[in-house]
Amino acid sequence: MNSEGPLTGKELLEKSQLDEFTAWKICSNDKRIITETIGTRYLRLDRQVEGFARLSPSIIREFHGYTVISTEQNREAAQRKAEALRKEIIRISKRKFDLSQEVISNIVESQIDPQAIKDSACFIIAGDVAYEMSHLEPRPESSTGELVRGSDLDIVVVADGLSATSIEALDRAIHRQKSFLLRNPSYNEEIDYLIKDIAKIEDQLEFDDFESMVASKILLEGKFLYGNIGLFAQIKEMLNVAAIPEKIHILQEKAALSRDEAIARLLEYEGDLADEESAKLFFTKEEREEFF
C-alpha cells in the first residue's frame, strides 16, 4: 500500500487476489494497517438472524465499498480518499433520488387525473438512497438475474382515499416503468415498490410480526419523494404515536452489539467460512429488503 497509496477494500482485493475474508481479517488484525470507514450503519431486519436485527451494510460490503485502507504514513492521504468516497456516495444517492422523483412525477402526470393522486397519495423513498449510502456495484436483479446498477430505488406509495381504479392504473404504470428502467442499458436501475393504503399502515404499526416490523422501519427511515407532503407528515406522526422510533432504536442497539460480537468471533475464526453460521456473520445471501 505504500507504493500504491491508500486503497478501497475493492481495490485491495483486485490487486492482492486475496479472498474477501482473508483480506478483511489481515486488515483488521495488523496494527500497521489503518482503515477509514465512511457512511452509516443502519438497521436491517433479517429472518435468518435471531431477533431479526442486523446492521447494513454487512461486514464484507462495508469493507468492500465503504472502507479505505492504508499505512500510518499515508493516513492523511487515506482521510482525503475516504472523504472523496463519502462525497461520491452522497452524489450517487442524490442522482438516484432525483431519478426516482423524475420517474414518479412523469408517471403521475401521465394518469387520467394526476391531481387526485397528488392530493391523495404520497411517495416515500427508503433504503440506501434514504441513508445516502447508494452504490453502483453491478448486482443481479432478484427475479431475472440480470445485472442492475447498484442500489435499488425502494419506493413506498401510501394512498388515502384514492379510488381503486386510480390505484390499479398507477400500479400498472409503475410496473411498466420498472421494466423499462431494468431493460434499458442507459439505466439498468431496479425500482422495488409497493402501494398500500393508510389503513394498512395502521395495522402494521402494531409491530407484532416480521412483516409489520419491516414495514414500520421502512416508513421511519423513508424520505418524502413526491405527492401529498401533508400525508407524509401524518404518517410520520403515526409512527411517533406508535413509539416506532423507540422500538427501532432498541433493535438498532441490539444489531450494533451483534455486529461487535460477530467481528470478535470472525477475527478469531480459523478457516475459509465454509460453515454457514460463520459465513452468515460476514455477509448476507442478498442485501435486499423486502417490502410489506
Res. 206 pLDDT band, cuts 50 70 90 = very high
Q: Which three cell numbers stand for residue 10?
A: 475493492
User: What is the model's pLDDT at position 289?
Assistant: 45
Res. 5 pLDDT band, cuts 50 70 90 = confident
> For the chain, what percent of residues have pLDDT higher than 90?
76
Res. 290 pLDDT band, cuts 50 70 90 = low
Listed by start position, the domains of the chain span 7-86+251-282, 92-247
User: What is the model's pLDDT at position 194?
Assistant: 96
pLDDT surpasses 90 at 51: no
CA diameter of the chain: 64
pLDDT surpasses 70 at 70: yes
Question: Which burial class, exposed, middle or buried, applies to 150 when counting CB atoms under 10 A from its CB (0-12, 13-18, 19+)?
Answer: middle
Domain 92-247 in CATH: superfamily? Beta Polymerase, domain 2 (3.30.460.10)
3-state secondary structure at position 192: strand
Q: What is the pTM of this model?
A: 0.91
Res. 280 pLDDT band, cuts 50 70 90 = low
Mean pLDDT of the chain: 90
β-bridge mates for residue 148, sequence order? 139
Strand bridging mode 67-71 / 33-37: antiparallel
Spatial CA neighbour of 205 closest among 242, 241, 237, 251: 242
- Sequence-ordered strand ranges (E) for the chain: 7-8, 33-37, 42-45, 53-56, 67-71, 121-126, 138-140, 147-149, 153-159, 191-197, 223-227
- Is the model more confident about 273 or about 219? 219
Question: Which burial class, exposed, middle or buried, applies to 205 when counting CB atoms under 10 A from its CB (0-12, 13-18, 19+)?
Answer: buried
For the residues 39-54, what does the mean pLDDT come to? Answer: 90
pLDDT surpasses 70 at 23: yes
User: What is the model's pLDDT at position 146?
Assistant: 66
User: What is the model's pLDDT at position 27?
Assistant: 95
pLDDT one-digit tens code per residue, 79-119: 999 999 999 999 999 999 999 999 999 999 999 999 999 99
User: What is the model's pLDDT at position 141?
Assistant: 62
> For the chain, what percent of residues have pLDDT higher than 70?
89
Cα atoms in the Cβ-side hemisphere of radius 13 Å centred on 69:
27
Yes or no: say if 162 and 116 are a contact pair by the CB < 8 Å rule: yes
CA 173 – CA 154 distance, rounded (Å): 16
User: What is the model's pLDDT at position 288?
Assistant: 45
Q: Which of 142-146, 226-230, 254-258 has the lowest mean pLDDT?
A: 142-146
